[in-house]
Amino acid sequence: MLRRTASSARGFTVVELLVVMAIIVVLIALLVVAVERAMRSGQEAQSQVLMGSIEQGLTQFRTDHGYLPPVLGRSGTSGSQSPGNLGFARDVLAPPVNALQQQTWNSITTLAEYLLAYGNRSADGYGAIGDPPYSNPDAPGATEIPTLGLRDPGRDGAWGAIVNPRQTQGLSRGVFLARNPGDAGVFPNSAGNSVQLEGRVFGPYLELQDGRLLGALTGIDGNGNPIVAFPGEIPDFDLYPKVICDYWGNPIKYTRRPYFGSDPAKLNPGLDLGDVVALRPWSIPSGQELDGFADASSIVAGGDRSTSRSLRSAEFALWTPGPDRAQNSAVRVDPDGFNEDNMVRAAR
Domain end position, chosen among 210, 239, 268? 268
Q: What is the pLDDT of residue 28?
A: 87
Q: Please name every residue paired with 306 in a beta bridge, in sequence order, or none if there are none.
A: 291
Q: What is the Cα 269 distance to its own chain's centre?
A: 25
Contact call for residues 151 and 180 (beta carbons, < 8 A): no
pLDDT mean values, one per 10 residues, the chain (348 residues): 55 83 88 77 87 97 93 73 75 91 95 80 50 43 54 68 46 60 41 48 86 91 90 86 93 97 91 97 93 92 94 97 93 94 96
Answer yes or no: do 205 and 329 share one domain.
no
**The whole model's pTM is what?**
0.79
Answer yes or no: do 293 and 261 share one domain.
no
Answer yes or no: do 244 and 289 share one domain.
no
DSSP assignments along 254-292, one per residue: EEE--BSTT-TTSB-TT--GGG-GGGS-SS--TTTEEE-
Q: How far apart are CA 65 and CA 205, in angstroms?
A: 12
Q: Is 171 helix (H, G, I), strand (E, B) or coil?
A: coil
Answer yes or no: do 257 and 290 share one domain.
no
Q: What is the pLDDT of residue 138?
A: 47
Answer yes or no: do 94 and 242 share one domain.
yes
Answer yes or no: do 47 and 142 share one domain.
yes
DSSP assignments along 77-126, one per residue: STTPPPTTSTTTT-EEPPPPSSHHHHTT--BSSHHIIIII--SSHHHHSS
Answer yes or no: do 200 and 334 share one domain.
no
Q: What is the pLDDT of residue 33?
A: 80
Q: Which of 312, 50, 333, 56 is nearest to 342 (CA)?
A: 333
Answer yes or no: do 189 and 74 share one domain.
yes
Domain end position, chosen among 268, 294, 327? 268
Q: How far apart are CA 58 and CA 50, in angstroms?
A: 12
Domain end position, chosen among 238, 268, 298? 268
Q: What is the pLDDT of residue 16?
A: 82
Q: What is the pLDDT of residue 311?
A: 97
Bridge-based pairing state of the strands 214-220 and 201-202: unpaired
The structural domain count of the chain equals 2
Q: What is the pLDDT of residue 164?
A: 41
Answer yes or no: do 186 and 326 share one domain.
no
Q: What is the pLDDT of residue 91?
A: 83
The parent domain of residue 324 ranges over: 272-348
Answer yes or no: do 162 and 226 share one domain.
yes
- Residue 23 counted as domain residue: no
Q: How many CB atoms lie within 10 A of CB 240?
A: 22
Q: How far apart are CA 73 and CA 94, in angstroms?
A: 10
- Residue 188 counted as domain residue: yes
Answer yes or no: do 92 and 198 share one domain.
yes
- Residue 216 counted as domain residue: yes
